[in-house]
Chains A and B, each alone.
Chain A
Amino acid sequence: MRDSEKKALSRREFGKAAAAVAGLSLVPTLLSARLQDPKPAPESAVEKSATASSEAPSEEALALAGIVKLRYGSRLNEEALKEITRSLDGTLKAAATLRKEPLENSDGPAVVFRAWRGEHD
């Protein structure tokens, strides 16, 4: 198995764990797809925004989990926070995947804002 394949596999395995609380899919199968990563991420992207290990969450995920704890800690036990942290790590990995695809300044969002004029005339 090539290194890149190992990496992709570990991301998927991690995704399975993160999926439990990821809150992103309508069939659970697809939960792990958030980490679908057809092209291996550059090491820098992985290091900066997500964990280098499939076991330990990244520092950024831990920091975000700290905010979740600050906001909602009174209703979350340690186990729940652990799961949320794993999920946050998955979210960050997904975002790292998105950042690998180049965008031009002119690539706008796939939504259209229209100025509104009510029927008051």
Chain B
Amino acid sequence: MIDDSVLFASAHDLGEQIRARKISPVELTEAYLAKLEGPGKRLGGVVTVTRDLALEQARRAEKEIRSGKIRSPIHGIPYGAKDLLATNGIPTTWGATPYKDQVFTYDATVIRRLEKAGAILLGKLAMVELAGGMGYRYASASITGAGKNPWNPGRWSGGSSSGSGVAVAGGFVGFAIGTETWGSITTPSSMCGISGIRPTYGRVSRQGAMALSWTMDKIGVMARSVADCGMVLSEIAGPDPADPSTMTKPWNYAPFGKKEKWRIGIVRKAWEKPEPEVPTAFEAAIQELGRIAVLQDVSLPELPFGATAGTLISAEVASAFEDLIESGRVSELADPGSRLGGYSSTMVYARDYLRALRLRAKLQRSLDDVLAKFDALVAPTLPGVASPLAANLEEVFAGDDPVGGAGNCCGIPAVSVPMGFGSDRLPLGIQFVGRAGEENRILAIAKAYQDRTRWHLERPPRENWT
């Protein structure tokens, strides 16, 4: 019998106990499956539970580990994948009704790499329809309805990797795979009080992943600690001939220390109108970071990062989902915004799209000039806590997002980790943003912060949904 506290352990700790044969991968898988099929579904965190496959993979892992064959640090650890990653013979809905019966005959590279590492696929996790590419107004913009936040089921879990946030925060998986085009890993990570990494563009192969924006989509990890994010990223990162956008060099998680203090740039005006608890929690985080880093206030270059990213996504989504728009099947999408968004996207001029691509190169250089002076920039991940389920999200998120806009426009990595609580004891997040290719640096700083705080060890009140 697996105790609930085990289900909330970090993937790192689970791996250690599995290798020491204190935990059986089969028993762990059965326990997570029960959670995923029960509260996981009730909270709108899962689309498809892959019970048979999971138990088959768990039995194989158990046999191998018993015989001393250890594939990787995540061997025997159950996980969930956002439902936009192709899985052989298992439905992949992209969170959207028009694709509810879609079944691929191959696995995405990420799924294959995790299988090779011995991880166990528990299920396909819920997401905002088409990863939010058509725009959306309400948390219910998904084939599975709103992702309900384990900290308070009356609140949203964030998007578009909604189910990944639910499953990690609820203790329904050991870790989860999410994706981000703009905010889709960092937002649910912040709202659900978990750690999440958006890697450098090209770090992880997107072969077999739903394309929303070829020049902006990234695949990353959501987990219960920074170290878990690094450990899992090691297994899925690296070149892939099937995805020409992947970086040519392999990547491994190698957290490193530093003799002198880190250099951290503080972005104080990341949000126009943060909730009152956000600056308070952020100041406390800065105080803590001041013990390990030299801090300096910094402003991002005043350049049109948001407009550039927006133009790129808008033009690319119109092409990626041209068949859906042309057929009129966008009308089957759940959200009123999603149903109309594609039509205006079809009208982006080629000239403007190319201008955005040309500007992007300039913006990358300008942003890197700022980032090069620091080991990381930090800012609150979001302006507040998770929003109510029925809220109009345009009203909730009315301001600009210069850090997320610049980071995603330029394809640079970011890690979001818990930094305390806001109103109604809901989690808040802080993001560490680094230069392209510097995942290990920002992971090291985020881990150093996490080692000095206990926010990531807080767990949601389970009586709300068990």
Q: Which residues from chain A sit less than 8 Å from chain B, CB to CB?
A: 12, 16, 19-39, 64, 67-68, 71-72, 75-76, 80, 83-84, 87-88, 91, 94-95, 97-101, 103, 107-111, 114
**B-side interface residues, number (CB < 8 Å):** 74
CA distance A34 to B393 in the complex (A): 16
Contact A34 B314 (CB under 8 A): yes
- Shortest distance between the CB of B444 and any CB in chain A (Å): 27
How far, in Å, is B375 (CB) from chain A's closest CB?
Answer: 25
Kindly list chain A residues whose C-beta atoms are within 8 Å of the C-beta of B147. none
Choose among A16, A84, A100 the residue that contacts B398 (Cβ–Cβ < 8 A).
A16
Instruction: Report if A110-B358 is in contact (Cβ < 8 Å); known contacts: A24-B135, A97-B307.
Output: yes
Contact A84 B401, beta carbon cutoff 8 Å:
no
- B290-330 contact mask (Cβ, 8 Å, vs A): 1 or 0: 00000000000011111111110110011000000000100
> Is A26 in contact with B394, judged by CB distance below 8 angstroms?
no
B347 and A97 contacting across the interface, CB-CB below 8 Å? no
Does B286 have its Cβ within 8 Å of any Cβ on chain A? no
Secondary structure class of chain B's binding surface, majority of residues = helix
Q: Do the beta carbons of B307 and A23 come within 8 Å of each other?
A: no
B308 touches A22 (CB 8 A): no
CB within 8 Å for A29 and B393 given contacts A20-B137, A23-B345: yes
Partner of A27, one of B158, B303, B348, B364: B158
Contact partner of B135 among A23, A35, A76, CB < 8 A? A23
* A–B pairs, 24, beta carbons within 8 Å: A22-B344, A23-B344, A24-B313, A26-B131, A26-B132, A26-B133, A26-B180, A27-B160, A27-B183, A30-B310, A33-B310, A33-B400, A33-B401, A35-B306, A36-B402, A75-B328, A94-B352, A97-B307, A98-B311, A98-B359, A101-B303, A101-B362, A103-B358, A109-B358
A36 CA / B309 CA spacing, docked (Å): 11
Q: Within the assembled complex, what's the spacing in Å between the Cα atoms of A87 and B311?
A: 12
Question: Which residues of B395-422 are within 8 A (CB) of A?
Answer: 395-402, 404-405
B331 at the interface (CB under 8 A from A): yes
A91 vs B257: C-alpha distance when bound (angstroms): 45
B184 within 8 A of A: yes
- Flag if B360 contacts A32 (CB, 8 Å): no
Return the contact of A111 from the options B181, B357, B396 (Cβ within 8 A): B357
Contact with A along B358-390 (1 / 0, CB 8 A): 111110100000000000000000110000000
With a CB–CB cut-off of 8 A, which chain B residues contact A94? 304, 307, 310-311, 352
Return chain B residues, CB-CB under 8 Å to A68: 343-344, 346-347
Q: Are B304 and A26 in contact (CB under 8 A)?
A: no
State in angstroms the CA–CA spacing of A32 and B359 once bound together.
20
- Counting CB contacts under 8 A, is B454 at the interface? no
Residues of A within 8 A of B394 (CB): 16, 19-20, 28, 31-32
CB of A91 within 8 A of CB of B182, answer no
Residues in A neighbouring B304, C-beta threshold 8 A: 36-38, 94, 97-98, 100-101
Nearest-Cβ distance from residue A23 to partner chain B, whole angstroms = 3
Contacting residues of chain B (13-51) with chain A, CB-CB under 8 angstroms: none
The residue that A26 contacts in the complex, of B160, B349, B400, with Cβ under 8 A, is: B160
B97-105, B230-238, B333-341, B428-436: which lies at the A interface?
B333-341
The 6 closest A-B CB pairs, nearest first, are A29-B397, A23-B341, A34-B310, A33-B306, A109-B357, A36-B306
Q: Is B87 an interface residue (CB 8 A)?
A: no
A68 and B326 CA atoms in complex are apart in Å by 11
CB–CB A36/B305 < 8 A: yes
Minimum CB distance partner of A95 in chain B = B352
Query: Which of A21, A30, A111 has a CB less than 8 Å from the CB of B344?
Result: A21
Q: Check A111–B400 contact: CB distance below 8 A.
A: no
Decide if B446 is an interface residue (CB 8 Å cutoff).
no
The reply to whether A21 and B401 contact each other, CB–CB distance below 8 Å, is no
When C-beta atoms are compared, the residue in chain A nearest to B391 turns out to be: A28
| Assembly CA distance A20 to B393 (angstroms) | 10
